[in-house]
Amino acid sequence: MQGIQMDLVSEDRLAKMPPVEKIRFIIDEVKSGKILVLEKGLTPEEEATLIEMTMTQIQPDDFAGIEMESYPSQTDGSFLGKLFKKSPVRTRLTVIGPANKLKTLKKDRDMISALVSNK
Amino acid sequence: MGVIRSFRKNFSDFFKKLFNKKNARIGIYGPPNAGKTTLANRILRDWTGDAMGSVSHIAHETRRARRREGVTIKSNGGSISLDIIDTPGLATKIDFHEFMELGMDEAESKRRAKEATEGVIEAVKWLENLDGVILVMDATEDPYTQVNVTVIGNMEARSLPLLIVANKVDLPESSPSTIRDAFPQHPMVAISALEGKNIDTFYDEIAKRFG
């Protein structure tokens, strides 16, 4: 059966990985043609690192980059969040796939609409 | 009392001069073709008399970060001195075929794509070295892009000042209110960097946010 594999990755699975391993895992999976839906999403720093590392992987006629969308992060307004200020940003779901297979049609604060193509 | 107050002020000014000589480093970020270099050129022409770089309708015209130190902007009776960094457009994908569609041959398109990827890497690295960001968005485009979300998230995570610029309001299809509604937690100024529309308000906001 032909199709596109979509992996829904739990928060626990990524939480066990160091940041570099997490980014490497995402790039390897996406380069193999998979679309990933990350339950918790990535921090802004991780997103920036993912963009940076993706750029090092781009090859003409092979890999043109990624399509990535996530809901805007939310500031942690809880007492502990304010007290420690170490993790003030709460990340939310992220969708990542190869740019030639995944295309964002529409996105707003709480809705991501995407087209998956098997071309 | 007057003498004490005067002494305090002089003492404070002395230490500010001694320890606060560094200009704030302000990066101009945004997706390709949002008008970053046009805005950087506008700032430099208004306050230094020269320009930062060339502009083009083709995406990724700026492929190296450009820095201009000590740009002094005067607003509301005061002045601030900034280092302005014009960065290449951030993107998550760069396909050389898109350059070919604009009339470039394959070799030139591939070379440009390679330089553009290096430019994005450089722009991401600069994010870690800034004191604040001017995030330029094209007011005719959807503001909910990953690039915008990533830059805003970075500034929020580091509690650094951010000023959103809704550019290209000279175009009839522009909708700066869409940008304001998308990111209501940050100050936004609607301008036309090309025509200079609302540019004084922009300088007032720079003084408020980065002064």
* Beta-carbon count within 10 A of A10 CB: 10
CB of B43 less than 8 A from some CB of A: no
DSSP letters, B52-71, are S----SSTT---S-EEEEEE
Q: B75 to chain A, minimum CA–CA distance in Å?
A: 32
d(CA B20, CA A59): 45
Q: Which residues of chain A are within 8 Å of residue B157 when distances are taken between CB atoms?
A: 43-45, 73, 88-89
d(CA B86, CA B26): 9
Please, what are the domains in chain B? Answer: 22-92+120-210 (3.40.50.300)
Domain range enclosing A102: 6-116
Give domain status of residue A58, yes or no: yes
Contact at CB, B113 and A60, closer than 8 angstroms: yes
Angle (CA) B29 B31 B36, round 5°: 50
Closest CB from A44, A47, A51 relative to B120: A51
Angle (CA) B71 B75 B78, round 5°: 85
Residue type, A57: Q
What pLDDT score does B57 carry? 75
Per DSSP, chain B holds a count of helices (H) and strands (E) of 7, 6
Q: pLDDT-based confidence at A83, cuts 50/70/90?
A: low
- pTM for this one? 0.86
Average pLDDT over residues A94-106: 92
Give domain status of residue A34, yes or no: yes
Q: Taking an 8 Å Cβ-Cβ cutoff, which residues of chain A contact chain B?
A: 43-45, 47-49, 51-52, 54-56, 58, 60, 64-70, 72-73, 75, 88-89, 99, 106-109
CB of B127 less than 8 A from some CB of A: yes
CB of B152 less than 8 A from some CB of A: yes
Give domain status of residue A31, yes or no: yes
Among residues A59, A6, A110, the alpha carbon closest in space to that of B93 is found at A59
Q: Is the model more confident about A104 or about A119?
A: A104
Mean pLDDT, rounded, of chain A: 87
d(CA B4, CA B2): 5
Closest CB from A55, A106, A108 relative to B120: A55
What pLDDT score does B52 carry? 78
CB of B92 less than 8 A from some CB of A: yes
d(CA A17, CA A97): 20
What pLDDT score does B175 carry? 97
d(CA A98, CA A116): 10
CATH number, domain at A77?
A: 3.30.110
d(CA B198, CA B40): 15
Contact at CB, B95 and A47, closer than 8 angstroms: no
Contact at CB, A48 and B144, closer than 8 angstroms: no
d(CA B64, CA B118): 8
What pLDDT score does B1 carry? 47
What pLDDT score does A79 carry? 63
Tokens of A57: 């992987």
d(CA B71, CA B133): 15
Q: Which residues of chain B have pLDDT under 70?
A: 1-22
What pLDDT score does A109 carry? 77
Q: Is the model more confident about A7 or about B103?
A: A7
Strand A35-38 and strand A6-9: the pairing is parallel
Domain count along chain A: 1
Contact criterion met (CB below 8 Å) for A66 and A54: yes
Give domain status of residue A1, yes or no: no
What pLDDT score does A10 carry? 95
Q: What radius of gyration do chain B's Cα atoms show?
A: 19
Tokens of A61: 């006629």
ipTM: 0.85
Q: What is the pLDDT of residues A17-68, one digit of tens each?
A: 999 999 999 999 999 999 999 999 999 999 999 999 999 999 988 999 999 9
